[in-house]
């Protein structure tokens, strides 16, 4: 009984600490360095390219969509992607705990 209670408490702690669904972004962050359209620019002469430019990529209806991220949103976007990854890890742990709880409750019956 104590193990069952401990598992339920651990599950509740994870639920309480999970990120808010309002702050979730299911995407991948990528950095790109690009050449510009000005042929005389240093970026066309084998030197450093322009950037980094930050993009989000995510699948929508089976197609990969890329979105440019303005500088003022980079922190918020990174936080949203980090929150998604944390939530996914939390869901996996909750599912594992639920499985243990289920078996312990079945034994108890």
The torsion of the CA quartet 50, 71, 19, 96, rounded to 10 degrees, works out to -10
Does this model's pTM top 0.85? My answer is no
Give residue 109's pLDDT: 74
Q: Rounded to whole angstroms, how far apart are CA atoms 100 and 94?
A: 10
Q: How far is CA 45 from CA 32, 33, 40, in A?
A: 18, 14, 8
User: What is the per-residue pLDDT across 3-60, written as a single tens digit (0 to 9) for each?
Assistant: 999 999 999 999 999 999 999 999 999 999 999 999 999 888 888 999 999 999 999 9
Give residue 1's pLDDT: 61
> Can you list the alpha helix ranges (DSSP code H) found in the chain?
2-17, 74-108
Q: Rounded to whole angstroms, how far apart are CA atoms 106 and 98?
A: 12
* Domain assignments of the chain as residue spans, ordered by start: 2-108
Give residue 52's pLDDT: 94
Which of 59, 55, 64 has the alpha carbon at shortest distance from 32?
A: 55
């Amino acid at each position: 009984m104590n193990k069952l209670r401990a598992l339920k408490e651990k599950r509740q702690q994870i639920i309480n600490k999970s990120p808010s669904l309002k702050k979730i972004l299911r995407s991948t962050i990528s950095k790109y360095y690009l050449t510009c359209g000005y042929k005389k620019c240093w970026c066309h002469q084998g030197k450093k390219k322009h950037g980094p430019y930050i993009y989000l990529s995510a699948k929508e209806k089976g197609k990969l969509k890329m979105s440019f991220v303005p500088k003022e949103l980079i922190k918020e976007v990174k936080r949203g992607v980090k929150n998604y990854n944390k939530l996914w890890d939390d869901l996996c742990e909750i599912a594992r705990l639920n499985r243990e709880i289920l078996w312990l409750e079945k034994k108890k019956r």
